[in-house]
Amino acid sequence: MRLVLLASGTGTLAQAIIDAEKSQLLDCEISAVISDRDSNALKRAQDAGIRAEYLPMQPDRKVWELQLANLISALKVDLVVSVGFMRVLSAEFVAKFPTINTHPSLLPKFPGAHGVRDALASGDIKTGATVHWVDAEVDTGEIISQREVPIYPADDESSLHERIKIVERSLIVETLTDLIKIRKMELRG
């Protein structure tokens, strides 16, 4: 299975996938890491010998998304993996390219950019990480996998988010492993 990773930040989720692919834990090929920012995720890709593409947001969002779609089409990938990518993709994009995303909450609770903050403010005793299919809305796609993370009384947004990231890294690798197995079975017919 050929993957492209979309990442906007430090790239720790992308690194987990890169490490799993390099150690042959994942039977896939990472075609590229694409970022809308000059991010550390791009450096991680370069360090691993993976194509790194910086695609800055354009004033016209449709122009930017067309550039992204053209790049992904040229890469001929089977799956787009959004890992810390802080852009909403259009319905047209996700209809054309199967895309999964990681999110730092137990969806459908706490969608959006502030899932960790919202979980803390809710008074809940647990939150977690979700991997889901991306659809036309924000964090509403079909849930593929989830894992719980307890919320401790001493937690602040930073400490809770760090614990969630640890879970997210293993969850995305496990989820990709399962998706790759399913894909292989489908190809065998």
List active site positions. 103
For residue 169, how many C-alpha atoms fall within 13 Å in the half-sphere facing its CB?
15
| CA 69, chain centre distance (Å) | 17
Nearest Cα neighbor of 30 from 45, 43, 44 is 45
Fill in the amino acid letter for 125: I
User: How far is it between the farthest Cα atoms of the chain?
Assistant: 51
C-alpha pair distances (Å), 65 with each of 20, 36, 187? 29, 11, 30
* 106 contacts 130 by C-beta, under 8 angstroms: yes
Residues in the chain: 189
